[in-house]
């Protein structure tokens, strides 16, 4: 029996998982229309490589990975691309993003699929294949999986000892990993072996919370059948036990250093569903086209669906029959999930759960009272923070203090808000403080950059002035020298000419300098390529900038919370 460790704090919210595990995973029927965003992963959006009107096959690449942190996007079924344009997506900002609209032809006609023998491939080949298969972390953070396998190369000193499969699924309501483990354990185990092979990890631990006895049994059976030396570990059920840092702590006793990565301590974590996708990619040549989505909450038929990426959320909700008083939806769990925009949005790779919500199910909290420093938040904080102090600093906008008290070690799990008797929306305060700090740092960087540029320009102008003066002085000297010693000139033919203009040379030099200066100024005022643009072009630029900012934000949050 493995020794398990504890992390500080944690809570036991009502799990509400049994509702959606009564029946097996259902295949959601092919929807009439699929909307496939080109950014479903952390990092740069994929670049569209198809056009409206193109006919595509199931599994055909439609979005090429673009940039270091990026992943591929595929057509989830065969059909016709009818548009590539901005559509609302499941993002708290409610900003639209570039999506492909696909009208299925119903034939489910596949591209040729090629299984590969991963044992006879190089790690680079395998990583490239995962990148081109669009495999990203399905625990919610959707970080490209190939990069998590590549960290090994970035830190050659750090060998990966332990590969951990995260089947904890600690958030209430969500059961997609549970059901996947119950029904497809053998594939997950094979996927784990593939990941282990690439990482060259010594041991593989599969952590599952003990409120999923069927999943544990299924995984144990699958490991036994496979003959692989993996260990399925039943861990105590406690939220947030499935958060990567806490999971690693429970299974190994090691703490991922603050602002560090699991690889720093020789551990790498993958979600069980990611492992399953890796298996499909290698053993069947199938890119990531679908995922298991729990549809639960205020619905008549809570259950798990295997849904194609791009399936409209309302189609799934309709399958589960949302109750009439449903007035909003949550993507993810009730602790860390985000409200879905009121407009129709598609299922993406990050959509592990859709919760239909109503005031009956999630009664609005009473108005917040002042903090009474009861320290319940500190007692449950899995990052060992002092949430009441951080709240105090965030509220009084003492961001420096908040940072000093480790604000950025907060994983935003929401345990503090959950127990707060004053019902203060603590996590919102931390998010606010973090975004303010990030914004200030960006502003500061921009200002520093501008100041440096300005200083350099001043320096350059000064230097040029000096150089010109020196040149002038040198020439005048030369002229004087020529005037004084005309007889000694080695080239007599040129001497007269020189001597002729000599009296005026200083004036001429000055005129020349003035002309040069005017030219320089004119050059400086030449329109740059970003000026004099049409409004349309400007809008495009603004859009691109917004997207970049969005990606940066995503990448940043990814690095802070490498989930899975």
Partner 1 sequence: MAAFFSPFISKPDTVSQIMLKVLLALIPGIALYVWYFGPAILVSITLASLTALGTEALMLKLRNRPIAPFLKDNSALLTGWLLALSIPPLAPWWLIVVGTAFSIAVAKHLYGGLGNNLFNPAMIGYAVLIVSFPAQMTHWLTPHGLGQAELGFLGQLEYIFLGVLPDGIKLDAITMATPLDTLRTRLHLDESVKQILDMPIYGRLAGQGSEMVSGGFLLGGFYLLATRIISWHIPVVYLGTLFVTAGIFHLVDPGHYVAPLFHWFSGAAMLGAFFILTDPISSPTTNKGKLIFAAGAGLITYLIRTFGGFPDGMAFATLLMNICVPLIVLYTQPPVFGKKDGVSGKKEKRP
What is the C-alpha R_g of the chain? 31
Considering the complex, state which of residue 285 and residue 425 has its C-beta at the smaller distance from partner 1: 425
Residue 432 CB, nearest approach to partner 1 (Å): 11
C-alpha distance from residue 490 to each of 95, 481, 482, 487, 500 (Å)? 77, 13, 11, 8, 17
In the list 428, 466, 480, 507, the residue contacting partner 1 (rule: CB under 8 A) is: 428
- In whole angstroms, give the CA distance from residue 403 to residue 401: 5
- Answer for which of 230, 282, 418, 429 binds partner 1 (CB under 8 A) is 418
d(CA 154, CA 21): 41
Asked if 496 touches partner 1 (CB under 8 A), the answer is no
DSSP state of 296: E
Our finding on whether 330 is near partner 1 (CB under 8 A) is: yes
42 near partner 1, judged by CB under 8 A: no
| Residue 324 interacting with partner 1 (CB under 8 A) | no
C-beta closer to partner 1: residue 428 or 466: 428
Query: What is the C-alpha separation between 265 and 254, in angstroms, rounded?
Result: 7
Residue number with CB closer to partner 1 (319 or 388): 388
Near partner 1 by CB under 8 A: residue from 72, 235, 267, 357: 357
Q: Are 182 and 214 in contact (CB under 8 A)?
A: yes
Phi-psi sector, 305: left (phi>0), alpha (psi -120 to 50), beta: beta
C-alpha 553 chain-centroid distance: 8
CA gap 115, 121 in Å, rounded: 12
Mark the segment that binds partner 1 (CB under 8 A) among 71-79, 300-308, 405-413, 469-477: 405-413
Give yes or no for residue 409 binding partner 1 (CB under 8 A): yes
- The answer to the question of residue 436 lying near partner 1 (CB under 8 A) is no
Interacting stretch for partner 1, rule CB under 8 A, among 62-70, 411-419, 480-488, 513-521? Answer: 411-419
* HEC assignment per residue over 456-519: HHHHHHHHHHHHHHHHHHHHHHHHHHHHHCHHHCCCCCHHHHHHHHHHHHHHHHHHHHHHHHHH
> What's phi and psi for 33, nearest 5 deg?
-150, 140
User: Please, which residue, 206 or 269, has the CB nearer to partner 1?
Assistant: 269
Sheet holding 303-308, edge to edge: 26-27, 303-308, 290-297, 353-357, 328-331, 338-339
Does 550 engage in binding with partner 1 (CB under 8 A)?
Answer: no
Segment 198 to 257, residues that bind partner 1, using CB under 8 A: 245, 249, 255-257
**Least Cβ distance, residue 363 to partner 1 (angstroms):** 9
The reply on whether position 422 binds partner 1 by CB under 8 A is yes
295 touches partner 1 by CB under 8 A: no
List contacts with partner 1 (CB under 8 A): 7-8, 13-14, 172, 245, 249, 255-260, 327-328, 330, 332, 334-339, 357, 362, 364-367, 369-375, 378, 382-386, 388-389, 403-406, 408-409, 414, 417-423, 425, 427-428, 556, 559-560
């Amino acid at each position: 029996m493995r020794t398990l460790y504890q992390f500080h704090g944690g809570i036991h919210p009502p799990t509400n998982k049994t509702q959606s595990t009564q029946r097996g995973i259902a295949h959601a029927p092919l929807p009439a229309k699929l909307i496939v965003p080109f950014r479903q992963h952390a990092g740069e959006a994929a670049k569209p490589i198809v056009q409206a009107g193109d006919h595509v096959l199931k599994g055909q690449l439609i979005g090429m990975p673009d940039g270091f942190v990026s992943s591929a996007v595929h057509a989830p079924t065969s059909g016709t691309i009818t548009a590539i344009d901005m559509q609302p997506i499941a993002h708290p900002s409610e900003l639209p993003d570039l999506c492909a609209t696909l009208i299925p032809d119903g034939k489910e006609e596949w591209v040729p699929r090629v299984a590969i023998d991963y044992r006879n491939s190089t790690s680079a080949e395998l990583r490239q294949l995962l990148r081109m298969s669009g495999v990203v972390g399905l625990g919610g953070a959707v970080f490209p999986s190939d990069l998590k396998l590549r960290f090994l190369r970035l830190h050659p000193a750090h060998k990966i000892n332990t590969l951990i499969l995260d089947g904890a699924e600690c958030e209430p309501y969500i059961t997609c990993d549970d059901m996947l483990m119950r029904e497809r354990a053998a594939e997950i185990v094979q996927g784990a072996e593939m990941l282990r092979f690439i990482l060259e990890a010594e041991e593989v631990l599969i952590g599952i919370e003990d409120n999923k006895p069927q999943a544990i049994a299924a995984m144990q059976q699958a490991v036994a059948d496979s003959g692989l030396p993996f260990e399925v570990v039943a861990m105590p059920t406690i939220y947030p036990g499935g958060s990567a840092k806490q999971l690693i702590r429970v299974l190994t006793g090691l703490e991922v250093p603050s602002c560090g990565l699991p690889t720093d301590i020789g551990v790498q974590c993958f979600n069980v569903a990611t492992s399953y996708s890796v298996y499909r990619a290698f053993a069947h040549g199938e890119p990531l086209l679908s995922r298991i989505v729990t549809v639960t909450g205020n619905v008549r038929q809570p259950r798990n669906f295997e849904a194609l990426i791009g399936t409209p959320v309302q189609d799934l909700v309709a399958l589960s029959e949302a109750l009439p008083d449903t007035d909003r939806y949550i993507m993810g769990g009730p602790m860390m999930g985000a409200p879905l925009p009121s407009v129709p949005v598609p299922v993406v790779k990050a959509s592990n759960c859709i919760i239909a919500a109503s005031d009956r199910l999630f009664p609005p909290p009473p108005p917040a009272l002042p903090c009474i420093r009861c320290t319940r938040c500190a007692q449950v904080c899995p990052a060992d923070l002092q949430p009441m102090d951080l709240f105090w600093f965030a509220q009084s906008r003492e961001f420096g203090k908040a940072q000093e008290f480790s604000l950025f070690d907060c994983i935003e799990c929401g345990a503090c808000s959950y127990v707060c008797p004053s019902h203060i929306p603590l996590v919102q305060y931390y998010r606010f403080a973090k975004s303010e700090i990030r914004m200030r740092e960006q502003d500061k960087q921009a200002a520093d950059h501008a100041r440096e540029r300005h200083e350099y320009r001043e320096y350059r102008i000064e230097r040029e002035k000096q150089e010109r003066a020196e040149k002038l002085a040198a020439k005048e000297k030369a002229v004087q020298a020529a005037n004084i010693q005309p007889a000694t000139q080695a080239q007599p033919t040129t001497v007269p000419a020189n001597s002729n203009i000599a009296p005026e040379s200083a004036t001429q030099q000055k005129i020349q300098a003035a002309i040069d200066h005017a030219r320089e100024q004119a050059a400086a005022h030449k329109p740059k390529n970003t000026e004099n643009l049409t409004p349309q072009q400007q809008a495009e630029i603004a859009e691109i900038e917004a997207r970049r900012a969005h990606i940066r934000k995503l990448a940043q949050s990814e690095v802070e919370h490498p989930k899975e």
